[in-house]
Amino acid sequence: MRSLVLIGHGSHLNPDSAGAVYRYADLLRERGGFDEVVEGYWKEEPSLRQVLRTVRFTDVTVIPMFISEGYFTETVIPRELGLGHQGPVPAGGVARVIGGKTVRYTLPYGVHPAMSDVILERAREACPDLGGEDTALVIIGHGTTRNANSNRVVYQNADRIRDLGIFAEVHALFLDEDPRVTTWPEVVKASRVVMVPFFASEGWHTLETIPDDLGLTGPVTELEGRTVYYAKPTGTHPRVAEVITQLADDARGASVVGGEPEAGNVEAWEAFYRLARGGLRFAEVLITPHAGLFEIRHALDEGAPILETVVTPEGLRDRTRLDERGEHRPVHTLRSLARGWRAVLDEHDLRRAVHYLYPALVEEAFACSNHALHTTPWVTTARRQTGIYAKVAGATPELVAEVSREVCGGCLRTRLWAGDKLERTFFDGVPGALPCAEACTFLVAEVREAMSGKKPGGHSHDH
């Protein structure tokens, strides 16, 4: 029995940031091969600090859904997962035993050699008759001066494809480092140019930055007497699912027999199902059993006769990721759950649906009810931060308290990390009693903003 965890960056602001990871998780579930597929994020929920609590089995493979090695794959993700590893990840990945689970952490999918084939497929989609002396390929990478590894995979793919002899020229150009993609007219000699963005998802850079910087008007653009074919990003191609599977199968220390159900996790969900079968109100939702099925709806919609009905966990996920105003909900326990829907699910799908609604809440509340939930004080969380967030370690207790009142005041959880007490949870019959074991990344980001004078509590000269 194997759990697969896909790790994305996510965003506190943009609901589309997690889209590619969700799509691959859905695709891998459909294909089988893993007994469970779970997503985790740096800037959304389930957070990197929560996600290993949510897996069902003791055999866990974690794959960073990034296009190249760099700061997040080498520093942030290993640190937040508690892997005890920093720096470049070896070819076979890193294996650790964490809380009774065997956790294997792999290289990001984008560095797999098979991604060269994905680049070629994207190029053929954009220009079906590619090849010959008049056609060049430009692989567009992001690039960064902060990590030398981030551009290496782009050059490696360019070298592999160049050796195939399909194109007259193959170039690696970048948005944020030299050689810049804007120099392509001087670099490329061919009359036809196929440009493939080596990016993990369709987003701001692929939809706006690159087209605007290059003057592209669509999939095909005539520029300076040459024809430019602009492809979709490599990271959104369905074949990436095959790359992910290969990475998981090749992970160092991969188990032949697989893992067992995680005992604490099993106990928590058995307790949850017992409550759900009798009808359960917790957080902002009401679960009602009906002839072997479960109806989930917003508790304030109790008795409402006409509601939009969803019948899959993914449908519920998509319906509740935005609030009533259409704004993104990076923290799921904020008091902003949209109304006007109901989900009708069987017992098999209930678990994943609840996971989408309130990631890690069942596991953490059950542990809290049994006095077994480990909490992490603000000081420990702040000292663990690196990069642009390292400065939060210098925030005064008064500033943290002020920002926390603003951010956490709209959340259903009780701040155990700040010393607040929670004697009972919804497992004990108190629907709104939900634990918060550690300050979330949303609060960390808001404290940093306040220290920069960009939020209330900050002390910029503009105030």
Q: Which of 82, 48, 53, 56 is nearest to 3 (CA)?
A: 56
pLDDT digits (tens, 9 = 90+) for 333-351: 999 999 999 999 999 999 9
Residue 456 has pLDDT above 90, yes or no: no
Residue 202 has pLDDT above 90, yes or no: no
Between CA 64 and CA 107 the distance in angstroms is 7
Residue 460 has pLDDT above 50, yes or no: no
pLDDT digits (tens, 9 = 90+) for 79-118: 999 999 988 999 889 999 998 899 999 999 999 999 999 9
| Assigned token pair, 343 | 């989900």
Residue 131 has pLDDT above 80, yes or no: no
Residue 290 has pLDDT above 90, yes or no: yes
Q: Kindly give the residue spans of alpha helices, DSSP state H, lying in 358-432.
A: 361-369, 378-384, 397-408
Between CA 372 and CA 214 the distance in angstroms is 56
pLDDT digits (tens, 9 = 90+) for 372-396: 999 999 999 999 999 899 999 999 9
Cβ–Cβ under 8 Å, residues 30 and 238: no
pLDDT value for 147: 62
Tally the residues of the chain. Answer: 463
Give counts: helices (H), strands (E), the chain: 17, 17
Average of per-residue pLDDT across 278-303: 96
pLDDT value for 148: 66
SS3 429: coil
Of 3.40.630.30, 1.10.10.410, 1.20.1440.130, 3.40.50.1400, the CATH number of 3-111+239-250 is 3.40.50.1400
**Phi, psi (degrees; rounded to nearest 5) at 244:** -60, -45
Residue 458 has pLDDT above 50, yes or no: no
Higher pLDDT among residues 140 and 256, named by residue: 140
User: What is the reported pTM?
Assistant: 0.88
Determine how β-strand 167-174 pairs with β-strand 132-141: parallel
Q: Under CATH, which number does the domain 263-359 receive?
A: 3.30.1360.190
pLDDT value for 284: 97
Chain center to CA of 50: 12
- Every domain of the chain and the residues it spans: 3-111+239-250, 115-236, 263-359, 375-451
Give the angle 396-397-400 at the CA atoms, nearest 5°: 90
Cβ–Cβ under 8 Å, residues 213 and 182: yes
Residue 257 has pLDDT above 60, yes or no: no
Give the angle 112-237-178 at the CA atoms, nearest 5°: 60
SS3 59: strand
The CB density around residue 91, as the number of other CB atoms within 10 Å, is 10
pLDDT value for 421: 95
Residue 454 has pLDDT above 80, yes or no: no
**Phi, psi (degrees; rounded to nearest 5) at 346:** -85, 175
Cβ–Cβ under 8 Å, residues 125 and 194: no
Per cent of the chain over pLDDT 90 is 76
pLDDT value for 462: 32
Average of per-residue pLDDT across 122-136: 91
- Residues β-bridged to residue 282: 285
pLDDT band at 70 (very low <50, low <70, confident <90, very high): confident
pLDDT digits (tens, 9 = 90+) for 409-427: 999 999 999 999 999 999 9
pLDDT value for 253: 63
pLDDT value for 76: 93
Q: HSE (CB half, 13 Å, CA atoms) of 331? A: 19
Question: For the chain, what is the mean pLDDT?
Answer: 91
In the CATH hierarchy, which fold is given to the domain comprising 375-451? Alpha-Beta Plaits (3.30.70)
pLDDT value for 434: 97
Between CA 395 and CA 397 the distance in angstroms is 7
Average of per-residue pLDDT across 22-29: 91
Between CA 261 and CA 275 the distance in angstroms is 21
pLDDT value for 15: 83
Whether the domain at 3-111+239-250 and the domain at 115-236 fall into the same CATH topology:
yes
Higher pLDDT among residues 200 and 403, named by residue: 403
In the CATH hierarchy, which fold is given to the domain comprising 115-236? Rossmann fold (3.40.50)
SS3 362: helix
Per cent of the chain over pLDDT 70 is 95
Residue 457 has pLDDT above 50, yes or no: no
pLDDT value for 146: 64
| Assigned token pair, 342 | 């109901």
Burial class (CB in 10 A: 0-12, 13-18, 19+), 405: exposed
